[in-house]
Chains A and B, each alone.
Chain A
Amino acid sequence: GAVVSQHPSRVICKSGTSVKIECRSLDFQATTMFWYRQFPKQSLMLMATSNEGSKATYEQGVEKDKFLINHASLTLSTLTVTSAHPEDSSFYICSANDRGRDYGYTFGSGTRLTVV
């Protein structure tokens, strides 16, 4: 089945530094990648949607200059949290839409970010 690999699984960084999270679709071409943020005991909140080769579409309230998304190929998307602050600490998870399956959504394993 479709697999999305997400790295790192956990990261601790200092305030003011940047962190890059990668998501790769291993056995399919991801037309679209979705990036979510999940706080403890809450639902998945969509941050942005990216299509290969084009700029990401950000949800209302999400700072595009702080959360940089790059989707340079059909198998790789990255999320960079710039100038991280403790309030950015959260669980970040990606999801990829299989180009060949309109209804196929596969999630990465998530990244637990802790900013100290």
Chain B
Amino acid sequence: GENVEQHPSTLSVQEGDSAVIKCTYSDSASNYFPWYKQELGKRPQLIIDIRSNVGEKKDQRIAVTLNKTAKHFSLHITETQPEDSAVYFCAAKALGYSTLTFGKGTMLLVSP
């Protein structure tokens, strides 16, 4: 089955800095890669996703890059703000399957 590795487990940055979270996946058939933000005690919220037919996608301060050859994808947050503090999860889904496999999560702390 699919295996998703996520690094780092914790990330502390100063407000205004950039943050990068990286994930690798094992199943070359995976074709959908969403990123979720989860605040304490709340549901995961989709913040951005990318499909295997593109290499990069951007939405304001958030961007995701995908390298299919190396089987890794990354989340980039620029100009971080304290409200970006949360746990971020990457996930992967293989073509023909409905199940998302999640990484272990990254706790991002943005200090004012």
Q: Given A31, A46, A109, A112, which contacts B99 in the complex, CB threshold below 8 Å?
A: A46
Q: Contacts A109-B42, A112-B41 given; indicate if A43 touches B98 (C-beta within 8 A).
A: no
B76 lies within 8 A of chain A by Cβ: no
Residue A34 contacts which of B41, B45, B100, B103 (CB distance < 8 angstroms)?
B100
Q: Are A49 and B89 in contact, with the CB atoms below 8 A?
A: no
Interface 1/0 per residue, A78-112 and B, CB below 8 Å: 00000000000001010101000001010111101
A44 within 8 A of B: yes
Say whether B46 faces chain A, with CB atoms less than 8 Å apart: yes
Do B89 and A105 touch (CB < 8 A)? no
**Chain A contact surface mostly:** strand
Measured in the bound complex, the distance between the Cα atoms of B100 and A44 in whole Å is: 10
Residues of B within 8 A of A112 (CB): 41
Contact of B102 with A by CB under 8 A: yes
Q: Take A103-B49, A103-B51, A105-B34 as given contacts and tell me if A44 and B102 are in contact as well, using a CB distance cutoff of 8 Å.
A: yes
How far is A31 from B41 in the complex, measured between Cα atoms in Å? 26
Contact of B43 with A by CB under 8 A: yes
Chain A residues with CB under 8 A of B89: 43-44
Q: Are B105 and A105 in contact (CB under 8 A)?
A: no
Q: Could you tell me the distance between the alpha carbons of A100 and B105 in the complex, rounded to whole angstroms?
A: 29
- A34, B105: Cβ atoms closer than 8 Å: no
Contact residues of B between 5 and 45, Cβ < 8 Å to A: 32, 34, 41-45
- Interface pair B41/A32, CB less than 8 Å apart: no
Q: Are A32 and B98 in contact (CB under 8 A)?
A: yes
A107 and B44 contact, Cβ closer than 8 Å, known pairs A42-B105, A43-B89, A43-B103 = yes
Contact B99 A43 (CB under 8 A): no
- Give the complex CA separation of A41 and B86 in angstroms: 11
Of the candidates A91, A97, A109, which one forms a contact with B98 in the assembled complex, judged by CB atoms under 8 Å apart? A97
